[in-house]
Amino acid sequence: MNRLLATLLAALFGAAPLAAQTAPAARAEDVASVDAIIKTLYDVISGPAGQKRDWNRFRSIFAPGARLIPTGRDAAGKARIAAVWSPDEYASSVGGRLEEGGFFETEIGRTAEQYGNIVQVFSAYDSKRTAADPKPFARGINSIQLFNDGTRWWIVSIFWEGETPSNPIPAKYLHGARH
């Protein structure tokens, strides 16, 4: 029934079902559950300085047309801004810096809501240059939207904001992390 409904909706709205679109092949264990795909997300972007990341593995967890949307302030620190990237644009814009300087992002809390085949996750994170750093250089929340097509999980979008002194992560988002 789910595939029939997806096909009907795709026909109505002119979009091809995810299964019909091309994406790099994912490891089955990377996309088997919400926990697995989020663990893979953090694992694939993390690593020591000088280590190449597996950008094909990164791309494989995203639905075709997926978006990554960081938010923040403009260079003058005044206006709030958001960039919109594809997984390829993220890898080419940010990937080199992650590989050169070292980057370890860890989930430190999670809340999730599910309705049918969609899940919305608030995944609180901290970021360090080395895994052994005593304090993170940044923290924030990734708002991750996921979809299950009946076969596997896909990341549809990640929308994130970094923590600031005037906007700390609320305590309710600092529990439930799956390590």
Convert the pLDDT of each residue in 19-68 to its tens digit: 445 678 999 999 999 999 999 999 999 999 999 999 999 999 999 999 99
CA distances for 88 relative to 17, 93, 95, 142, 165, angstroms = 21, 8, 10, 18, 32
pLDDT, one tens digit per residue, over 98-129 is 999 999 999 999 999 999 999 999 999 999 99
* Domains of the chain and any CATH numbers: 2-173 (3.10.450.50)
The token pair at 39 is 């663990």
Q: What's the pLDDT score for residue 22? A: 64
Edge-to-edge strands, sheet with 80-82: 80-82, 62-73, 153-162, 138-148, 118-128, 104-115
Query: Tell me, what amino acid is at 167?
Result: N
Number of H helices, E strands in the chain: 4, 6
Positive or negative, the CA dihedral 49, 36, 72, 165 is negative
> 């801004």: which residue's tokens?
81
